[in-house]
């Protein structure tokens, strides 16, 4: 088993998903702050949770468990493309020795999934590399990253996410 600490080895979290999940949000791998906290999108300047709640005109909870329940109540799941990788720091550009999660099995286990939202270019490229056949059979959209490293106004990111989810739900 790989460890979440030392020498940049990273293991993703379990997915936040249930049998009613229709849209799966896929990142690449959790960043250092998320790994330390054991929570998706923990970094303070990441607007993921703010966007998720804004999609439904709600104020974000501060409780991680409540956030996960909120996702599931709206038929949204979260996971990562990669199961394991080596990475120093938080940049996806520094990922190597990547092993993907088993999406062939995942889509069999969760047949209600209608589509994927990739949270950036690297997540989509990793999925495309590891699952060239599967990507042709599933609807997907790449949304603007919620990372603070992407210098776009919040309302631009929110509108991008709204439109992508609307297209997947058509």
Evaluate if residue 94 carries a pLDDT over 80. no
Please state the rounded mean pLDDT for residues 58-84: 96
Structure tokens at 53: 């709640």
Evaluate if residue 1 carries a pLDDT over 50. no
pLDDT digits (tens, 9 = 90+) for 9-56: 778 899 999 999 999 999 998 888 898 999 999 988 899 999 999 999
Evaluate if residue 2 carries a pLDDT over 70. no
> For residue 41, is it left (φ>0), alpha (ψ between -120 and 50) or beta?
left
Cα–Cα distance for residue pair 59/29, rounded to 1 Å: 26
pLDDT, position 42: 92
pLDDT band at 81 (very low <50, low <70, confident <90, very high): very high
Evaluate if residue 98 carries a pLDDT over 60. yes
Structure tokens at 56: 């439904």
Catalytic one of 45, 46, 59, 160: 46
Q: Is 97 a catalytic residue?
A: no
Where do the domains of the chain lie, and which CATH numbers do they carry?
9-168 (3.40.470.10)
132, 119 Cβ separation under 8 angstroms: no
Of 105, 88, 103, 108, nearest to 140 by C-alpha is 103
Neighbour count for residue 138 (Cβ, 10 Å):
15
Three-class DSSP category at 30: coil
Three-class DSSP category at 104: helix
pLDDT digits (tens, 9 = 90+) for 142-168: 999 998 777 899 999 999 999 999 999
Q: Which residues pair with 78 in a beta bridge?
A: 16, 25
Residue % of the chain over a pLDDT of 90: 71
Evaluate if residue 79 carries a pLDDT over 60. yes
pLDDT, position 12: 83
Q: Virtual CA dihedral for 49, 39, 169, 125, nearest 10 degrees?
A: 110
Cα–Cα distance for residue pair 79/14, rounded to 1 Å: 7
């Amino acid at each position: 088993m790989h460890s979440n600490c030392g020498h940049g080895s990273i293991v993703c979290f379990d997915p936040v998903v249930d049998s009613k999940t229709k849209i799966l949000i896929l990142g690449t791998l959790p960043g250092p702050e998320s790994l330390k906290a054991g929570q998706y999108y923990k970094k303070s300047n990441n607007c993921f949770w703010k966007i998720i709640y804004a999609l439904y005109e709600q104020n974000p909870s501060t409780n991680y468990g409540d956030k996960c329940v909120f996702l599931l109540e709206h038929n949204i799941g979260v996971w990562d493309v990669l199961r394991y990788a080596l990475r120093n720091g938080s940049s996806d550009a520094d990922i190597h020795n990547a092993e993907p999660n088993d999406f062939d099995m995942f889509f069999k286990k969760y047949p209600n999934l209608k589509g994927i939202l990739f949270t950036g270019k690297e997540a989509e490229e990793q999925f495309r590399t590891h699952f060239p056949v599967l990507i042709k059979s599933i609807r997907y959209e790449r949304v603007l990253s919620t990372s603070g490293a992407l210098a776009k106004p919040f309302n631009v990111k929110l509108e991008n996410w709204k439109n992508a989810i609307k297209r997947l739900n058509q």
